[in-house]
Amino acid sequence: MNLAPASVRDYRERARAKLPRQLFDYIDGGAYEEATLRANEADLQALELRQRVMRDVGHISLRTTVLGRDLKMPVILAPVGLAGMFACRAEVAAARAAQTAGIVFTESTVSIAGIEEVAAATTNPFWFQIYVMRDRSYAESLFQRAAAVGCDTLVLTVDLAALGARYRDVRNGMAGALTAKMKVARALDFASHPRWVKDVAIGGKPHTFGNLEAAVPGAQRPEAFQEWVASQFDPTVTWDDVAWVRKHWSGNVVVKGVLDAEDARKAAAAGVDGIVVSNHGGRQLDGVSSAVRALPDVVAAVGDDVAVLVDGGVRSGLDVVKMLALGARATLVGRAWAWSVAAGGEDGVSAMLRTVAAEMRVAMALTGTTQVSDIDSSVLATPPRGR
C-alpha cells in the first residue's frame, strides 16, 4: 500500500471513516467530560518552539538510547488494548512497523494478538505491558511467557486502581449491558462499514485476547473487557509490590501512570528503571494534569537516576521535540499508531512514523539542534505553565 504523506490527525479521520463508531470512539474517547484528554493536546500546542537560524544543521540525527536499547528516534509505540479489533492482527502490524523504523513496540496485556504471535512475526525484542492482577500466579505466568519470547522490559501500568467511566463507551455499548436497541444499532453500524467487516471482523479472526485466554471466563471476548478489568485488576497494589515484580522479572521495570513528583520519588526508591509520565491518555481520572505539565516536576524529582518517558497528546514530531525539551528521554504514542493501523495496517503505521521523523528533523533544524542529546529547555520560547 502506497500511502501519501499525512499527519497523525489525517490518519485519525481515515480511521473514523473505516471503523464502526463504537471502535473509533473507544480509541478516540476519554473519561467523563474528556477535559484531560483535551488538555493533553492543548497544553502541548501552547508550548512555542524557539526558532534559531544560521547554524550548521547539515547533519541531523534522531538516534538515542533508552534503557539500553538503541533507537533510530525517541519514539516508542505505547500499549493499546483491543488493537486487533481496529485492523487485522494490528499488534503484529504495529510491531513489524516499529521494527522497520528502528524503535520499540509495546504489547498490551489485553492485545488481540498474543505475545507469541507478535514474537513469531518479528526479530527485535519488544516490551510487554502488564497490570497487577488479583491472580498473581497468572501474572507470573505472563512474566514467564514474555521472558520466553525475548521481551527485555516490563511496563507496569499503575493508574488503574479504579476504572474511570468512559461515557462514549457506555453510550455505544462497549461498557455495561447491551440493550436490545444498542444491539440493533451496533449491528447496523458494523454493516455500514463493509471494509472493516471484510478486513477485521472476518479476516482478523480469532477475536480473543491472546494473552488472557486462560485467565477468567469471559475475558476472551472483547465486549467483556471492561467487566474483566473491574473484576481482576488489583486496587490494593502499593510500591511494595515492585519487589514482587522484581522477584519474578529479571529485565527492566518501567511504571506507567505517574503524574506526581512524590510518586516519582517513591518509584525511584522502589528500584524501577523507568517512569512513564501519563494520565492514561485522559482515559482514567478526568481533571488531572496534562502529561506535559506534569513532566518537568517528575524529571526534577528523579534526576538522572530513572529514565523518564512520557505519553499523552503527542500528535507530531514537533510534539516529540517539545517533550524532549522538558526532560523526557523518549515519548510513547498510542492513539497515533492506533489510528494509523486502522487507516492502513502496517503500511499506515510505517507512514505515520516516517512523518513524525520528518517533522522532528524540521523542528530540530529550525531550533538549531542536530542531535537528540542537544534538545533541552533552550529550544522552547515559552516555559511550561506550572500546576
Q: What is the C-alpha to C-alpha distance for residues 333 and 313, in angstroms, rounded to an integer?
A: 8
Query: Is the pLDDT score of 225 beyond 70?
Result: no
Q: What is the C-alpha to C-alpha distance for residues 264 and 295, in angstroms, rounded to an integer?
A: 10
Q: How far is CA 379 from CA 65, 334, 365, in A?
A: 21, 25, 11
The reported pLDDT for the residue numbered 161 is 84
* Sign of the C-alpha dihedral computed for residues 348, 308, 82 and 287 taken in this order: negative
Query: Is the pLDDT score of 335 beyond 60?
Result: yes
Of the candidates 377, 367, 273, the residue with the CA atom closest to the CA atom of residue 327? 377
Of the candidates 381, 380, 378, 278, the residue with the CA atom closest to the CA atom of residue 330? 278
Of the candidates 361, 371, 281, the residue with the CA atom closest to the CA atom of residue 318? 361
Identify the structural domains of the chain with CATH numbers, from first to last: 8-378 (3.20.20.70)
Query: Is the pLDDT score of 384 beyond 80?
Result: no
Query: Is the pLDDT score of 20 beyond 60?
Result: yes
| C-beta of residue 222 within 8 angstroms of C-beta of residue 209 | yes
Show which residues are catalytic. 280
User: pLDDT, tens digit, for every residue of 60-74?
Assistant: 999 999 999 999 999
The reported pLDDT for the residue numbered 385 is 56
User: pLDDT, tens digit, for every residue of 78-130?
Assistant: 999 999 999 999 999 999 999 999 999 999 999 999 999 999 999 999 999 99
The reported pLDDT for the residue numbered 213 is 78
| C-beta of residue 343 within 8 angstroms of C-beta of residue 71 | no
Render the burial of 303-332: b for 16+ CB within 10 Å, e for the rest.
eeebbbbbbbbbbbbbbbbbbbbbbbbbbb
Ordered alpha helix ranges (H), 222-307: 225-232, 241-248, 261-270, 291-302
Reduced to 3 states, what is the DSSP secondary structure of residue 102? coil
State the cell numbers at 35: 477535559
Average pLDDT, the chain: 92
Tell me, what DSSP letter sits at residue 377?
G
User: pLDDT, tens digit, for every residue of 242-284?
Assistant: 999 999 999 999 999 999 999 999 999 999 999 999 999 999 9
The reported pLDDT for the residue numbered 222 is 47
The reported pLDDT for the residue numbered 132 is 80
pLDDT band at 138 (very low <50, low <70, confident <90, very high): confident
The amino acid sitting at 251 is: G
